[in-house]
Amino acid sequence: MTPEPVAVDVRLLVTGSRQVFSLLTAYDPDFGDVFKVLADFVPEEPRSETAERAYRCGWRRRCGPKGCGNLTRGAVVEVLRQGFVRRRPRSPQRASRGSGRSGSRSLARGGGGRRGIVDEAAVREALARRSYRADWYEQRGRDQMREGTVLIDVTGSAVGQINGLSVLVYGTRAFGRPSRLTASVALGSAGIINIEREAKLSGSTHDKGVLIIAGYLRNRFGRDKPLSFSASLCFEQMYGGVDGDSASSAELYALLSAIGGLPLRQDLAVTGSVNQRGQIQAIGGVNEKIEGSSAPAATSG
């Protein structure tokens, strides 16, 4: 039996990644006919009066049903400051669309709900409590630096050694942590050896950064004669894998220091990727890296 068609008027919305959309379009000839409209949901948006108004309205909608209470003017200003300046966006001129939901949950658990009024202090208290609940791994890393288990120098100078900065993601929390980068050189023709790669602890982006360093050295010093040296780069006491190219500038400084025998200051931590022309490029996770670089300085000598 064939059922009779039912007259319906619906709109079907499917969400997913661009990769899945491309695969379905390529392998299902009917997919493009059924889903004719493609729209991107971007995680950030340019800062404007309209965006700020929508940001405020979204916060009020999320807080209302969850019992967060009424947001005062100071609370709204603090929410905007956190959303536009502090965390998720890569630029203070852009706002994150993903921070409101988790932030409203924090406010619901914070002191604002008990008082019925959410002020600036309640917003900061809720954020501090959310940070405290998930910062054990970060605090443990700082304790290891303080105890001397993880070796980080913050005074003096050393040859072929520098403090790099990385961002670790632990569940929903991301935080910065300094790590010691070392370079050693010797006679030979092996070029640059990436110890993380040899130990299968290096991601493809980090491998690319090391290869870019080699390209810079060839472009800078090997135009009229071939370069002949053996060097190795290593993230000391890093056992969970390394990825990203943000350490390439620090690795380059350590390598040049080892080659030239020139000491590097240990009270500075360095981050940022470098291209084959030696230009430092934009960095990500700047807030986390700044906070991570300041932690050992306050506890180590």
Q: Classify strands 44-46 and 263-265 as parallel, antiparallel or unpaired.
A: unpaired
Out of 246, 248, 249, 300, pick the active-site residue: 246
Query: Residue 248 has which token pair?
Result: 């390439």
Cβ–Cβ under 8 Å, residues 176 and 141? no
Cβ–Cβ under 8 Å, residues 43 and 91? no
Query: Residue 76 has which token pair?
Result: 């709204």
- The C-alpha atoms of residue 297 and residue 301 are separated, in whole angstroms, by 7
CA triplet 91, 96, 97: central angle to 5 degrees?
Answer: 160
- What percent of the residues of the chain are helix, what percent strand, and what percent coil, each to the nearest 5? 45, 20, 35
Residue 66 among the catalytic residues: no
Out of 257, 289, 293, 300, pick the active-site residue: 289
Can you say whether residue 244 is alpha, beta or left, with left for phi > 0 and alpha for psi between -120 and 50 degrees?
left
Q: Burial letters for 163-202: b for 16+ Cβ neighbours within 10 Å, e otherwise? A: bbbbbbeeeebebbbbbbbbbbbeeeeeebebbbbeeebb
Residue 36 among the catalytic residues: no
CA triplet 94, 100, 103: central angle to 5 degrees?
Answer: 125
Beta bridge partners of 161: 182
Q: Which of 233, 286, 287 is nearest to 259 (CA)?
A: 233
- What DSSP designation does 85 have? I
Catalytic residues: 246, 289
